[in-house]
Structure formats: C-alpha cells, structure tokens
C-alpha cells in the first residue's frame, strides 16, 4: 500500500514559493485544488505547515543556523526547504512527534535523490528537537531590531522603518499584531438587499454562526465556514468578503443618492459594490481596473449582487482620461502600495517588498492620483487610501495632494468609532495599524475639490 505523502506536497509548494518566486496563496490554492480528493485532515495539514513555515521563515532560518555548519544561504534549496518545514513542525505543531518529523524528513531527502545528505538532515533536525527550549535568541536590550526581526519573522528593514515611523513601543505592538490570528471570516452585508439581522438569521439556517463586528454595522464575522461558495446566502449576493478596514472607504466616501462615482483600482470590487449598496439603486459606480482579468473579477461579483447601478470597466489609471474630467462626485483611489498593513495575512509581502520598491510605488501613486484628481468635479470628493503603514506612501502623499492641488482635507472623524482612538480624523486622514487597531493596517484620507479661482 502507498499513502499519499502530504509532507512531499508541502515540500513542493515551498520549493515553488521560495526558489521560483511564486505567490504562496496561489501555489497553495492550486495544490489544494489538485489534491481536493485528500481528506480534510490532510488538506488542513498542508495549509497549516505551508502558511506557518512561510510566516515564521526568518525565525526558522535563525534556528537552523544555530545548529547547522552549512548555513541556510549555502544549502541545496530542496534540503533547505525540507529543513524549514520540519523545524516548523518541531517548534509550532503539537501532536506531531519529533521522531516522526525527523524520520519523514530523512525519507523525503532520500526519495528526492539526496541520500548522501540523509545523515546531515537527521543530525540537524535531531539536534534542534533536543535543544529547542535552550535556543538563545538575540537579546532585545542588545539589538532590538534583530530581536524583533527574529521573534516576529519580519525583515530588519521593516522593523527599522516601523520603529523610525512609529516609535519602538508602537512598532512592537504592530509586530505582535501581525501574528494575531482571527480565523473568522469578515464579510459585509449588502443592506440594500436585506437587513443585517436577516443575514444573521439566514446564515444561522445554513449552519454558520455570525457575530456583528464591533466597528461597523454592516460587517459580520463568520465562524464555521468551510467553503463560502457553498452558502446559498453568498451565492445570492447578500454578502461580500471584505476586511472591515476596507469597508471604511465607502463609509467615509459617504455617497449621496444619485452620485456618480469612479473607483480607479477597483478589483475585486468590494469597495465599489459597497458604494453601489450605499447608493440604494441610484447613481452609478464605474469600477475600473487595468486588465480584462481584473475587470472580469469585478464583474463576477457585480453579477452575484445583481446591482444595476455599477459597471466594470477596463481602463488604465495611468492614462489621462479627458472624457471623465470634472465628472465624478466621488473618486476612489485605493492604490497599489507596499502592503505592509496586511503582512500578517499575506506573508509573501514582507519577504518581497523592498525600500526601493516603496520609492517606486510613491511615484506610481502620484501618477495615479494626478489623474484621479482631475476626474473630481468641483465640490466633489477624492478618497485616497492604501493598505500600507509606510508614511511616505500615506502621509507624504496626503501632504503632496494638499499642497499641489485645489483640495481641501475633510473631517472624517465621525465615521470612526470612538474606541479606535483615531485623533487625526479631523485633519482629514486616519492611519490604522495592525496590533494597535483590531484590523488590517490601512490609511484613508478624504478631500473636497474646490474650484481653482
């Protein structure tokens, strides 16, 4: 008899991600699709070990380097990834015996053509298993950056940037926050279709426990959802999957009946659909994005909602759009960014982002903003948001908009619950941070366009 080797599947996934630069959520999704015949436990194991290894990669590599003469940078990639997933199991998974982890790793090394290295794999892993509790991590008082980087598996440059931009205490909370796991799924109810209470009742009928989100009335946190597409209430368009932080965008935009809105980077369409919902069958939302693929993604969500006051359009936000100038009551510019506010959920970002890329992104953002401003009619609203923590992309772009265009910041404090303690809302912007606020990191700002003279 042969048993499907879930560890080998994980090893192949990690190899794709770490050696071929694939996105972890995509590779994992493909693998789970390919192996959907595996039972639930095996699939859960694949997901947990893949995600866990990626989230804790820096700490895992540090541990390996404490016990291996050959450092992680010099190892054969397959062996490195095999050690990584094994150390993850040794350190973070209860209920997997250390001996089994070591034996399986040795077998896999042999199976993949590395028999000469089986003693090495065995030796390193058994030493780690024996000494796991005695590992000396860098001391916070000696080297705070290194300490935080290894404890929270966040690259040193991000640790430095957070300490520099937010201070050591807040930075520590943010890093801790990236590890907070709320396994519940955040969804938004389309309140023009049905009331939130009705959604809760319908969910209950389908066996899903829904709890109201403390920050926003239309947000629900769902427990016990295996596969959302199976739910009738989801297929009928009552719900959209969306993090609460991004729901603030449409709330803050605060559309009035009949408004014409343009969302310049709309995919997958959560914010645009939220606007359409708030417009209550009036006005129009033009949900734009750059590629056919993205526009189709938006369209499929529109189709599900059945809303008629929204359309998906393929349009490149970098190109000037003379026809749309001075046309929109509301322009939403939720821009491509360095994503440091969501690294707790998408661990690839923290390993792939760089300071250079951040600088490039600021240029990209200003180019998109320049076009976005022109589309706002006099007296209309510009909403600029990102999902990063980086102040160059957020605060500095906010100041740049204020200083270079006829834009007036609007007080947005009323849209945020008091318990969030955001004080800058009156000045026209809010920066939400992981670990400080109970949601993804997010920046949001609102301007009114004033006439030139």
Min dist. Cβ of residue 82 to other proteins (A): 10
Q: 374 to 403, contacts with other proteins by CB under 8 A?
A: none
Parallel/antiparallel/unpaired status of strands 376-386 and 328-334: parallel
Smaller CB separation from other proteins, 13 or 267: 13
Q: 225 to 264, contacts with other proteins by CB under 8 A?
A: none
Please tell me whether residue 296 binds other proteins under the rule CB under 8 A: no
Spatial CA neighbour of 341 closest among 435, 236, 242, 200:
435
**Torsional class of 450: left (φ above 0), alpha (ψ -120 to 50), beta (otherwise):** beta
Of 33-41, 46-54, 246-254, 346-354, the segment contacting other proteins by CB under 8 A is: 33-41
Please provide the DSSP assignment of 298-340 as one string. HHHHHHHHT-SSEEEEE--TTS--GGGTTTEEEEEEE-----G
Smaller CB separation from other proteins, 107 or 438: 107
- In 3-state terms, what secondary structure has residue 209? strand
- In 3-state terms, what secondary structure has residue 93? coil
- In 3-state terms, what secondary structure has residue 101? helix
**Interface mask toward other proteins for 108-137; x: CB under 8 A:** ---xxxx-----------------------
Please tell me whether residue 4 binds other proteins under the rule CB under 8 A: yes
Please tell me whether residue 105 binds other proteins under the rule CB under 8 A: no
Min dist. Cβ of residue 107 to other proteins (A): 8
Min dist. Cβ of residue 45 to other proteins (A): 12
Of 38-46, 65-73, 171-179, 220-228, the segment contacting other proteins by CB under 8 A is: 38-46
Please tell me whether residue 103 binds other proteins under the rule CB under 8 A: yes
Min dist. Cβ of residue 22 to other proteins (A): 15
Please tell me whether residue 12 binds other proteins under the rule CB under 8 A: yes
Min dist. Cβ of residue 30 to other proteins (A): 13
d(CA 54, CA 61): 11
Q: How many residues bind other proteins (CB under 8 A)?
A: 22
Radius of gyration of the chain (CA): 24
d(CA 79, CA 121): 8
Q: 69 to 88, contacts with other proteins by CB under 8 A?
A: 76, 78
> Do residues 24 and 54 lie in contact, with contact meaning Cβ atoms separated by under 8 Å?
yes
Spatial CA neighbour of 95 closest among 58, 61, 44, 51:
44
Give phi and psi for 209, each to the nearest 5: -80, 125
Smaller CB separation from other proteins, 110 or 193: 110
Min dist. Cβ of residue 89 to other proteins (A): 16
Smaller CB separation from other proteins, 36 or 403: 36
Please tell me whether residue 198 binds other proteins under the rule CB under 8 A: no
> Residue 248 CB: number of other CB atoms within 10 A?
26
Please tell me whether residue 43 binds other proteins under the rule CB under 8 A: no
Please tell me whether residue 319 binds other proteins under the rule CB under 8 A: no
Spatial CA neighbour of 448 closest among 370, 399, 365, 378:
378
Please tell me whether residue 42 binds other proteins under the rule CB under 8 A: yes
261 forms beta bridges with: 285, 330
> Do residues 114 and 79 lie in contact, with contact meaning Cβ atoms separated by under 8 Å?
yes
Buried-exposed string 205-220: b where 16+ CB fall within 10 A, e elsewhere: eeebebeebebbebbb
- In 3-state terms, what secondary structure has residue 90? helix
Min dist. Cβ of residue 58 to other proteins (A): 25
Please tell me whether residue 100 binds other proteins under the rule CB under 8 A: yes
Smaller CB separation from other proteins, 111 or 235: 111
Binding test (CB under 8 A) with other proteins, winner from 21, 33, 39, 453: 39
Please tell me whether residue 2 binds other proteins under the rule CB under 8 A: yes
Parallel/antiparallel/unpaired status of strands 260-263 and 284-289: parallel
d(CA 12, CA 195): 46
Min dist. Cβ of residue 348 to other proteins (A): 23
Spatial CA neighbour of 430 closest among 443, 439, 440, 418:
443
Smaller CB separation from other proteins, 80 or 290: 80
Of 64-72, 104-112, 189-197, 258-266, the segment contacting other proteins by CB under 8 A is: 104-112
Of 4-12, 257-265, 282-290, 331-339, the segment contacting other proteins by CB under 8 A is: 4-12
- The enclosing H or E element of 410 equals none
CA angle 24, 29, 33 (to 5 degrees): 150
Smaller CB separation from other proteins, 113 or 229: 113
Q: 159 to 188, contacts with other proteins by CB under 8 A?
A: none
Tell me which residues touch other proteins (CB under 8 A): 1-5, 8-9, 12, 37-39, 42, 76, 78, 99-100, 103, 107, 111-114
């Amino acid at each position: 008899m042969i048993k499907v080797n879930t560890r080998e599947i994980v090893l192949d996934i990690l190899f794709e991600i770490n050696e071929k630069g694939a996105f972890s959520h995509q590779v994992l999704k493909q693998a789970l699709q390919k192996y959907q015949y595996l039972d639930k436990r095996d699939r859960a194991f694949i997901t947990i070990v893949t995600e866990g290894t990626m989230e804790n990669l820096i700490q895992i590599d540090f541990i390996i380097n404490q016990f291996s003469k050959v450092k992680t940078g010099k190892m054969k990639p397959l062996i490195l990834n095999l050690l990584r997933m094994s150390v993850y199991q040794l350190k973070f998974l209860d209920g997997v015996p250390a001996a089994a982890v070591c034996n399986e790793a040795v077998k896999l090394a042999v199976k993949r053509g590395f028999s000469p290295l089986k003693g090495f794999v065995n030796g390193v892993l058994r030493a780690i298993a024996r000494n796991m509790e005695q590992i000396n991590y860098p001391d916070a008082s000696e080297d705070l950056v290194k300490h935080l980087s290894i404890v929270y598996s966040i690259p040193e440059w991000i640790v430095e940037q957070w300490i520099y931009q937010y201070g050591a205490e807040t930075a520590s909370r943010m890093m801790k926050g990236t590890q907070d796991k709320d396994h519940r799924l955040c969804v938004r109810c389309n309140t023009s279709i049905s009331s939130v209470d009705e959604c809760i009742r319908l969910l209950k009928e389908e066996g899903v426990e829904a709890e109201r989100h403390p920050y926003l009335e239309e947000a629900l946190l769902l427990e016990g959802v295996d596969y959302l597409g199976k739910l009738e209430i989801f297929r009928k368009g009552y719900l959209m999957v969306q993090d609460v932080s991004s729901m603030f965008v449409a709330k803050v935009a605060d559309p009035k009946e009949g408004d014409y809105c343009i969302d310049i980077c709309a995919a997958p369409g959560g914010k645009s659909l939220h606007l359409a919902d708030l417009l209550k069958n009036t006005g129009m939302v033009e949900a734009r994005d750059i590629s056919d693929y993205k526009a189709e993604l938006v369209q499929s969500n529109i189709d599900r909602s059945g809303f008629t006051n929204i359309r998906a359009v393929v349009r490149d936000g970098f190109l000037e759009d003379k026809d749309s100038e001075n046309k929109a009551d509301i322009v939403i510019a939720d821009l491509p960014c360095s994503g440091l506010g969501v690294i707790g959920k998408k661990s690839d970002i923290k390993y792939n982002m760089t300071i250079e890329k951040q600088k490039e992104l600021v240029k990209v953002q200003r180019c998109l903003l320049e076009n976005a401003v022109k589309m706002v009619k006099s007296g209309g609203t510009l909403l600029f948001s990102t999902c990063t923590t980086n102040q160059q992309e957020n605060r500095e772009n906010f100041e740049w908009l204020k200083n270079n265009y006829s834009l007036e910041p609007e007080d947005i404090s009323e849209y945020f619950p008091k318990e969030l303690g955001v004080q800058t809302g009156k000045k026209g912007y809010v920066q939400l941070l992981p670990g400080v606020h109970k949601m993804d990191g997010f920046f949001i700002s609102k301007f009114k366009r004033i006439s030139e003279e």
